[in-house]
A and B are shown apart, each in its own frame.
Chain A
Amino acid sequence: MRRLSRATAVVETDAGAARAAGELPPDLEARIAMLEASAAPGDFDRRSWFWMVLFGVVAPALLLIYVYRA
């Protein structure tokens, strides 16, 4: 948060002027700068994929086999 406040303080451009110039509003610019500077979090790790495959593929497949055989 302190880093964000510093970044916000550095970018003191008025938001309206920034928009007119095609730049990002200062707060948004600071956020994006922080996200770019830090290691971007990944999307899904192995455990996430396991749960997605289990509930999104395996379970429906088993249920469908039952439905279409019944």
Chain B
Amino acid sequence: MSQGALADESGWPMLPAERTWGGVRLTLTLATTAAATWCYLIGESVGNYLGFVKGAIALTAGCFIGMLLVLLAAGPACIRFGIDSVAATKPQFGTRGWVVPAVLQGVSIIGWNSLLIIFFAKSAVQLCIALGLWSQAARSAMLVPLLTTLACGIIFAALRRGAKGVSLVSNILFAHVFVGLWMLYLLVSHRWPELLAAQPALANPDRLWNSTTGVELGIGATLSWWPYIGAMIRMAPDGRTAVLPVMLGMCAPVPLLSLIGLAGVLVLKSSDPAEWLRTVGGPAYAIVSLAFVTAANFGTTTAGIYASAIGLRNFRALQQRSWTTLLLITITPVALVGIFIPELFFARFGNFLALIGVAFAPLCGIQIVDYFVLRRRRIDIRAIYSHGPGQPYAFWRGINPAAMLALAAGCCTYIALLDPLTYRSSRPYAYLTASLPGAAAAALVYLLAGALVIRAGRGGYRRG
């Protein structure tokens, strides 16, 4: 195995000579990662509170704000040393405490991918029926599990090539972004007057609250990219190459494709284009949209499994395991959910994911203040991988209490402003959102507690 492939699959830092992805390749990969079925769900959520134009603008603003937070948090360490998002948290959480963000990453990615792979299987079943390959009568409960297994098998085979597999799938599937825009054009051109006149179903009497919720949903959506971003941008040689692909390639497709779900739920009360394209354009359009949905989910799931497998490398027990074993460990839970409990998972997924999202805003706040303020941009790459006692990032028994305290403070602030399960909020939410105060509270607590850590001479900080 070449040294480059070794680092690609090991989670170790990539050397400058191995980081060969240019702007175009990174943009394609990030765009394919971002453009998936979740965009329809995000658009649908916004469409519950805002009309088309206002919803689109609020969502776009929120997405860009969230993307900036993620880039400032995970970006510097990943770009400088070619490491993944989880490894980049060791200077803040410690040589053992990083397990907390690692678990968040794992649960988030497995959850997202389970949703996508089930979507993929359901869309593929519908596509086969629409193409006449299966009859509606022959459709059985076994088809979704079978197609889930098949999809997991294909993703496994593609990812045995490491990041090259992700890039390969991205190149093939990038066209689906344009198909998505075509679907949006169809709906907008056919139903523009209705779209402008449509009223959101769950709009709050407070217009400010509705607008803020549109922004909040955008921020939350792009905060979900935290687990993915490190594994992708570490393949780029420097910050200059990575910034525009992230801000445009990874961020822009989300609000753009969310418009499909936003328009669909406002006009036809359904965010699923497979449903409304049949109404707008007939069965031929439905087939195209189903092919699009199938392809989009496949690309994102591949990138997610890759990022998750790289993250597992940070666990000492898994450092010497083969890449194939890591892939199996990552894919198996996704496959099991898709095979055994697809419907149950769909029903509970919103609540599950809302709780996961609460943690990423504080996580970003902690990383930003640690890197730019407390460490003044100095990271010790050796300390990230040195796990013994007395190492710079060992703090106390491998855990930085300042980070844990700040994370808890950020999560509590978020929940105090907005209950992610019921969407009940307190008054300041309408002016502040929940994610931004959550990140700010975590940053502030980390700054104050970090000063004590520095005073105690822990954490590898430079004094003065």
A: which residues have CB within 8 A of B? Answer: 1, 4-5, 8, 15-16, 19, 22, 24-25, 27-28, 31-32, 34-36, 38, 40-45, 47-48, 51-52, 55-57, 59-60, 63-64, 66-68, 70
B424 CB-CB contact with A under 8 Å: no
Q: Which residues, 387 to 442 on B, are CB-close (under 8 Å) to A?
A: 387-388
**A15 CA / B319 CA spacing, docked (Å):** 10
**A22 CA / B211 CA spacing, docked (Å):** 53
Q: Which of A4, A22, A55, A67 neighbours the largest number of chain B CB atoms within 10 Å of its CB?
A: A67
**A22 CA / B388 CA spacing, docked (Å):** 6
| B58 contacts A55, C-beta separation under 8 Å | no
| A41 contacts B16, C-beta separation under 8 Å | yes
| A56 contacts B64, C-beta separation under 8 Å | yes
Q: Which residue of A lies closest to B237 (CB)?
A: A41
Q: Which of B10, B64, B79, B80 neighbours the largest number of chain A CB atoms within 10 Å of its CB?
A: B64
**A55 CA / B208 CA spacing, docked (Å):** 23
| A32 contacts B244, C-beta separation under 8 Å | no
| A67 contacts B57, C-beta separation under 8 Å | yes
Partner of A42, one of B58, B239, B242, B248: B239
Contacts A32-B382, A40-B80, A41-B79 known; A57 to B68 CB distance under 8 Å? Answer: yes
B: which residues have CB within 8 A of A? Answer: 3, 6-7, 10, 12-13, 15-17, 53-54, 57-58, 60-62, 64-65, 67-68, 71-72, 75-76, 79-81, 208, 211, 214-215, 237-240, 242-244, 247-248, 251, 316, 319-320, 377, 381-382, 385-388
| B12 contacts A63, C-beta separation under 8 Å | no
Partner of A67, one of B54, B75, B319: B54
How far, in Å, is A32 (CB) from chain B's closest CB?
5
| A4 contacts B3, C-beta separation under 8 Å | yes
**A28 CA / B316 CA spacing, docked (Å):** 13
Contacts A22-B388, A52-B72, A55-B248 known; A66 to B57 CB distance under 8 Å? Answer: yes
**A5 CA / B3 CA spacing, docked (Å):** 9
Residues of A close to B54: CB separation below 8 A: 67, 70
**A38 CA / B57 CA spacing, docked (Å):** 45
| B80 contacts A43, C-beta separation under 8 Å | yes
| B13 contacts A35, C-beta separation under 8 Å | yes
How far, in Å, is A70 (CB) from chain B's closest CB?
6
| A68 contacts B81, C-beta separation under 8 Å | no
How far, in Å, is B215 (CB) from chain A's closest CB?
7
| A24 contacts B385, C-beta separation under 8 Å | yes
How far, in Å, is B206 (CB) from chain A's closest CB?
12
| A1 contacts B17, C-beta separation under 8 Å | yes
**A46 CA / B321 CA spacing, docked (Å):** 41
**A57 CA / B7 CA spacing, docked (Å):** 35
| B65 contacts A43, C-beta separation under 8 Å | no
- Additional 10 contacts, C-beta under 8 A, given A40-B80, A43-B79: A19-B316, A28-B385, A32-B382, A35-B81, A40-B81, A47-B243, A55-B248, A56-B65, A59-B61, A67-B61
